[in-house]
Chains A and B, each alone.
Chain A
Amino acid sequence: MIKKLKSFLNRFVKKLFKKKKTIKLGFYGPPNAGKTTLANKICQDWLGEDMGTVSKIPHETREIKVKEKIVIKSGDKELEFNLIDTPGIATKIDYEDFLRHKISKTQARKRAKEATKGVIESIRWLDNVDVVIVVLDSTENPYSQVNLTIIGNLAARDIPVLIVANKVDLRRSNIKKVESAFPQYKVIGISAQKGKNIEKFYKEVFELVKR
């Protein structure tokens, strides 16, 4: 309670006396949840270019990527932010898992090494973001420790969070399960690849930044 009051006062004082800076919007989540696909969709919609490459092989994004000054519009409102796409957070990385995706042993080892560094970088960047979109694969079990750790750390830092249940176009998608796993957060179901519900997503981003 005291902690919450303290952080509220801190934010209030900061808002009063500091110059308005560009919001840093971070994308967090486990590997292959669709963070970069969603980042690409936003960049395509508002900048006309991609942010990063996507792949079915996990840990395709292995370093932090920042796209500065993205301006999105919803109705007559406008919002400018820096978009931070982070590598997926995992508790284990086995180079042998990459071999199943038909890449060479050398490439798999290199990928694994880079992926471990990416995870560390993602965690360290938790202190540099203002608001966070947690991207989850709605076809997967949401009660994973990685998801709980990410959400727990964001809550401890008092960072506003929006949970995106991605891949709703797939038959196995289960948004209700995501909602019941994180009842205190707003959950929005989208398909970043197909663009489904993307307008609603932009509206929610405006709401998230207001908090």
Chain B
Amino acid sequence: MPYREHSSLTTDEKLKKILRVTKQQKILLMQGKLKPNEEARLIEETMSQITKEFAGISFCTIAPNNGNGKEKEKITTKLKNNLYNLTIGKRDFLTIIGPASIVREIRKNPTKIDLLLHQTKRKK
């Protein structure tokens, strides 16, 4: 989902879209990141929609510096990034959201992300 596709949406619309895609058993790659309150709302919304078939989601945001976005930065870099984010939005972040039935775990370490999927039984 490119940034322009969700940047103008309200939180409710954004969450509705995310959950609609993940409930279709698809993994969503979203350019940009959710705000902290949107992340909390996403968890709330997910919990309210859990059924026997839909066990929830796994999600994770990758920061542009490959870390958790909280490492100490130089003031100039910080200013440059803040200006960049203010003008064109947080486009250099990537958010991965997948249904729990497919994504077993998203293991995040400062420098890499492991997307662990459930094994599916194939019919011979």
Contact = CB atoms under 8 A, between A and B. Distances in A.
Contacts of B50: 92-93, 112, 116
Given A92-B100, A143-B110, A180-B110, A149 B40 contact: yes
Contacts of A133: none
A180 to B, nearest CB: 7
B43 A123 contact: yes
Q: Is the interface of B mostly helix, strand, loop or mixed?
A: mixed
Interface in A128-166: 141, 143-146, 148-149, 152-153, 155-156
Nearest to A113: B50
Interface in B47-89: 47-48, 50, 52, 55-61, 68, 70-72
Nearest to B101: A94
How many chain B residues sit at the interface, stated as a range, is: 20 to 34
A91 B40 contact: no
Q: Is the interface of A mostly helix, strand, loop or mixed?
A: helix
Contacts of B56: 90-94
Contact of A120 (B39, B44, B68): B44
Contacts of A148: 61, 68
A119 B47 contact: yes
B43 A149 contact: yes
B40 A95 contact: no
A119 B57 CA distance: 14
B70 A153 contact: no
Given A92-B57, A93-B47, A143-B68, A153 B37 contact: yes
A19 to B, nearest CB: 30
B43 A155 contact: no
A145 B61 contact: yes
Given A92-B57, A152-B36, A141 B109 contact: yes
A95 B109 CA distance: 28
Contacts of A91: 43, 46, 56-59, 100
A198 interface: no
B23 to A, nearest CB: 13
11 contacts: A92-B50, A94-B56, A120-B48, A145-B60, A145-B61, A145-B106, A149-B39, A153-B36, A153-B39, A155-B36, A183-B71
